[in-house]
Chain A
Amino acid sequence: MTIADKTELRQPAYGNAHGLKWLAAEAWDHLWPWAGRGQAARKLIQGAGFALAIAATVAWVLAAMGRLEAGAIIGWWFGWSVLEVFVRLDAKPYVKEGPWWGHLYRRATVMDMICYVSFKNLLIGAVLFIGLKSIGALQV
């Protein structure tokens, strides 16, 4: 969203960090959807999110052990992605605005969050999927 209304802008908890510290915080933010210190979150969504994240992680581990088929792991990853949208909307309801190397963030609409989570998880999923496939743990 190209912003006219400045009240749409947001500042994440790590927003004031700079340099490597900011980069590390940004990476962590992409990987950890739950609220950090000083951020509010609803316990129910947080709990459900943790539960499904553990299940999805177990699914990836099973896949790595060659005990889960490609379709199943794609299903798990999709299921987790759906829940991650809700977790993030609750705990980290913002997305990057403008250049990725910039420090501007804005309020995320549901569609913004769907786009963000699906794109991010597609990349993460593809890396894990191709990695497991190349070592022969996952068969298609």
Chain B
Amino acid sequence: MLSLRALRRFLPALASALVAGSALADTYDVKLPPELSTSPKLCDYAPCKDVMPGATSFSERRGQPPFVEAYKDEAGQKKLLGYVMLSTDITDIPAYSGKPVVTLIGMDTTGHFTGVKILKHSEPILLLGIPEAALVKFNNQYLGKFVGDNIEIGKSRPEENLIGLDAITGATVTVIAQNQVMMTSGNEVAKQVGILKPVNRPQARFIASTATPSWAELVSDGSVQRLVVKAEEVGLKSDGRPYMDLWFGYLNEPSIGRAILGKYGYDGLMSRLSAGEHAIFIIKTAGMDSFKGSGFVRGGLYDRVQVRQDKDSFTFRDLDYVNLWGVSASGAPAFDESAIFIIRGKSFSAAYPWKLIFLGNKIDKETSTKTFANFDKEYWLDAKYLEGGRPKVVKPDPTWLKVWKERAVEIGAFTVFLLLISVAYASRDKLVRRSTHKNKWPVNAFKYTAWVVSIGFVGFTAMAQPSITQVLTWFHSLLFQWKWELFLSDPLIFVFWIFIIVTVFVWGRGFFCGWLCPFGSLSELLYKIGQAVGLKRFQFHLPQKLHDKLKWVKYAVFFGLLAVSFFNMGLAEKLAEVEPFKTTFLVGIMNRSWPYSLFAAGLLGLSIFTERPFCKYLCPLGAALAMPTTFRWFGLKRKEECTSCKACAKGCGSLAIDTKGNIDQRECMLCLDCMVLYYDDHACPPLAQERKRRTKAGQPLTPINGKGYYIPIHPAPADKKQEGAAA
């Protein structure tokens, strides 16, 4: 009763401490004014001066994607200082939370970053644990750097002309995304204002042909591509129609151009183009909106479509537009909107792949605010249209692949470690047979090695402690938006989770929890150390009856977090601080505010006196893994005598053996102590009894079989004996 009363007092105190901690997060999910993303006067709603020191005035939004110009007054004259851009005007790259980090970026007229300011983020790791100041510090690394430089997370590699930025430990995915946001935004504006020059690509030379392919043939060889945007992708309710269903293709190539426009139409169009100009067509066969939009009426700019080739983008003005009255290709679908656009940038080449970008706005259902979202489809002329075929194009690795390549050794070592420990556990029958209840080293050597590596390498060095927050994120991703890139960005966690999922179904959660969880290992190691240094007399187990009640708490914690996560993921992330993992491994007990440190230190301190208190009663991750453990394939062995003999149950540190001798695999940490006893003829009571009986009767002690008994001695039948004697 006393402990329950204490718990009742402790929980509210902990909750208020958590809330106090969260107050430190300044820009976490703050409500931004809706005008920030819509008003022409961006700087009326954003602290532009913070990212452009010295600026006294700012222009309205201009360009596509938009940016503002920053000026300072010099002798009564306005002098252009640089440019300010809002990241979400330019790119919708999501960070770990699945939402973009809204960033205000300043860049001077020479393309050097002058300021970076986070306006809003939804990153749980920055809410609790890693201070926001770490992200500010990370962003400050961009100051003074040139937008055209090759900047990436990791070590600088001067031989590859690569400038490295220090990541934030424990928030790798966030900073990788932030780097993409910074560089994409900076590049887009730098190209528009002429700081970055377009790449000159060799022009395509077409193979002469008189063929006029049908629509189906054009689609099948990729000469016509389709870009579909679903209604729900832009936050609209679906009525069965897509939001946008576009078909597009390149018209300069003679056979494609003639097929789409007819001979005269093609010749007429080509006669209007100067050297180095290119034409594409777009038709809309279904959709809820116009792909032309209305921007060209006001500003002469088509703001919903553009073409991108590598890092160069091409936008269309009203002068770049030509009417498309019909499509000649047989079998072409009916359409309700059409256009021919002229690409006038000289760096465009049809020999290389390019993308049609549809620039949309996604409406947030909760706030009704619009956020930028773009959708694209790649186009690359088939080799049969190009003299010499397609040129060789080396596409850069996706970011997650770069991370895997950079950490290949670490990933390899970790995988080998996991496999070695798995092989050791799979050989448990051999190991426990070599052990006795007095000498368990054949088992413990592997287990203790796993603990030490887990704590030192996995926990403190690689910071790959699995957490319930990942389960919640995966659960939501499974239902709402699955992105492999998000999970692949943290390779050790990814590998660990694949391993955990497989081993939970094969052996149960005990293998991860009991052998490989960094915090669990640290907890039990402290218990063992306590035992070794003379604290054994203070060590205790809770009474079985109390344990059988308290063990349900962790399931309540898990279901509570899961339920809360459906309503408010941010709150669930905060409450997930019930796991002391972040404090212990990610941030450090000495580096956090006292409520977190006290909680983690208290649990670890308690672990010296009672075995794994957190794992048994509080761990939501343990509970989440315990549930599928109900269906694990291979369990530990039991004998019929176990129903009445309590020898194993008395020594079970997990208190997982019930009064009937059955093992509750959801609670079992697979320490293998009971399996050591199972084969130990000096410890397992039925086996010891049989040993004594045989010794007394002068019978041989035959090997112990897989069922934990001596192989029975069967007297040879009498007639066989006689046959043997005769022989």
Which A residues fall within an 8 A CB radius of B? 1-6, 8, 66, 70-71, 74, 95-96, 98-100, 111-112, 114-116, 118-119, 126, 129-130, 133, 136-137, 139-140
Contacts and interface: CB of A to CB of B under 8 A. Distances in A.
B566 A95 contact: no
B480 A140 contact: yes
- Residue with the highest number of chain B CB atoms closer than 10 Å, among A4, A6, A116, A139: A4
Contacts of A3: 638, 662
A136 B478 contact: no
Contacts of B478: 126, 130
Given A119-B628, A129-B479, A140-B480, A2 B640 contact: no
B278 to A, nearest CB: 34
15 contacts: A2-B637, A2-B662, A3-B638, A4-B638, A4-B639, A5-B662, A66-B239, A95-B630, A98-B633, A112-B630, A114-B627, A115-B626, A119-B628, A139-B237, A140-B480
A3 B638 CA distance: 7
Interface stretch (B217-225, B316-324, B663-671): B663-671
A5 B649 CA distance: 14
A74 B480 CA distance: 12
B631 A100 contact: yes
How many of chain B's residues touch chain A, expressed as a range? 35 or more
A8 B660 contact: yes
Contact of A74 (B238, B240, B566): B566
A6 B643 CA distance: 9
A96 B631 CA distance: 7
Interface in B470-500: 478-481
Contacts of A139: 231-232, 237-238
Given A99-B634, A139-B238, A4 B640 contact: yes
Contact of A98 (B239, B628, B635): B635
Closest 5 CB pairs of A and B: A4-B661, A4-B642, A4-B638, A2-B635, A2-B663
Contacts of A71: 566
A91 to B, nearest CB: 19
B273 interface: no
B13 interface: no
Contacts of B628: 115, 119
A1 B480 contact: no
B145 interface: no
A5 B237 contact: no
Contact of A137 (B238, B637, B661): B238
A116 B626 CA distance: 11
B70 to A, nearest CB: 39
Contacts of B662: 1-5, 8
A69 B478 CA distance: 17
A126 B479 contact: yes
Contacts of B660: 4-5, 8
Contacts of B638: 2-4
Interface in B664-683: 664-666, 668
Nearest to B665: A2
Contacts of B239: 66
Nearest to A129: B479
B30 interface: no
B426 interface: no
A136 B627 contact: no
A136 B240 contact: yes
